[in-house]
Amino acid sequence: MDKVVAGIDVSKASLDICAAGQTRRFANDATSWRALGSWLRGLEVSRVVMEATGRYHRRVHQCLHDRGFEVILINPLRARRFAEALGHLAKTDRVDALMLARLGTVLDDLEPVAPQEAFLNRLEDLLVVRARHVDARTMLRQVAGEVDGDGETLTQTTIADLDERIAELDAAIEALIAGDPEQAKRYRILTSIPGVGPVTAAALLCWMPELGSLDRRQAAALIGVAPFADDSGQHHGARYIRGGRRRPRDLLFMAAISAARCNQDLAIVFQRLKAAGKAHKVAIVAVMRKLIALANTLLREQRCWSPEAPARSPA
């Protein structure tokens, strides 16, 4: 018997559901999640497809998982491309729910996703709030040189206040990680790599929890630094990167710039590519790829970085 699949479009205030040819809207709150579970059971739904929407989907995901539903999370861009491939160019909450249900029916080999553990949720919240503060500080620093008098004074005061808040968030992130022995060990391994600082290490813990269980190609593709072909017939285009997880990739980019200077092995890679005529960003992306592969290897082998290669026991 075919599984009955429900599609759920998640927003901050509401959930739009399409299942077994029916559509319905529920509030995105605890009371409505229980009612939603009962309604889905009545329709004999066993599989639920929803978009990963940052924090808005977390609790309904947990509730449905606890009630025995298979929950599949889909990248929103992937869901939109699926709808467009079917000719649905309009975008409404109801259409999105319908397309998610159809996607889950057509792609029946999609793997259910367990809810993210509480530690990672808390770490993600702190990292997102920190990023917002950093963005605000950067914007104000740009404005500071354009205003005079009271405007400049207030801007500098606000920047100083943001500096304090960011320092407090950094301390909270470190305290959270230190409170989890397994994550603290992974954090020590990551920060031992020249070029990888505390924020980048925390981001990799949060948004790349699979590190240590992947091969180097999988790790590069997951974060979005794997080169993809652009060939068709006699056309052989330049390789390019795309997709992946933007937040850790942005921080890995900054880490790669640092590593290209302070990590001797990676500096050699960077200078060799530059000498070969490669563009600056191409060389930096190559360093990013080396960095994520190195982090993956160290976490798999549960050891900190060392300038000397580890001794291998004879076979």
Q: Give the alpha-carbon dihedral of 9, 14, 15, 16, to 10 degrees.
A: -70
- Residue 47, phi then psi, degrees to nearest 5: -130, 135
Task: Please give the pLDDT value at position 312.
Answer: 63
Residue pair 16/5 in contact by the 8 Å Cβ criterion? no
183-197 pLDDT per residue, tens: 999 999 999 999 999
Residue 236 predicted with pLDDT over 70: yes
Q: What is the pLDDT of residue 311?
A: 63
The answer to whether 244 and 221 have CB atoms below 8 angstroms apart is: yes
The predicted structure's pLDDT at residue 24: 93
**Do strands 235-236 and 231-232 pair parallel, antiparallel, or not at all (unpaired)?**
antiparallel
Residue 3 neighbours by CB distance under 10 Å: 12
Report which of residues 239 and 309 the model is more confident about. 239
Q: Does position 79 have pLDDT exceeding 60, yes or no?
A: yes
pLDDT at 263 over 90: no
Give yes or no for residue 201 having a pLDDT over 90: yes
CATH number for the domain running over 4-106 = 3.30.420.40
Contact yes or no for 258/267 (Cβ under 8 A): no
Instruction: Give, as one character, the DSSP assignment of residue 26.
Output: E
* Confidence check: pLDDT of 49 > 90: yes
- Domain boundary assignment for the chain: 4-106, 117-179, 181-315
Q: Any idea what the Cα angle at residue 140 is, between residues 136 and 144, rounded to 5°? A: 170
pLDDT of residue 145: 78
Handedness of CA 53, 58, 59, 62 (dihedral sign): positive
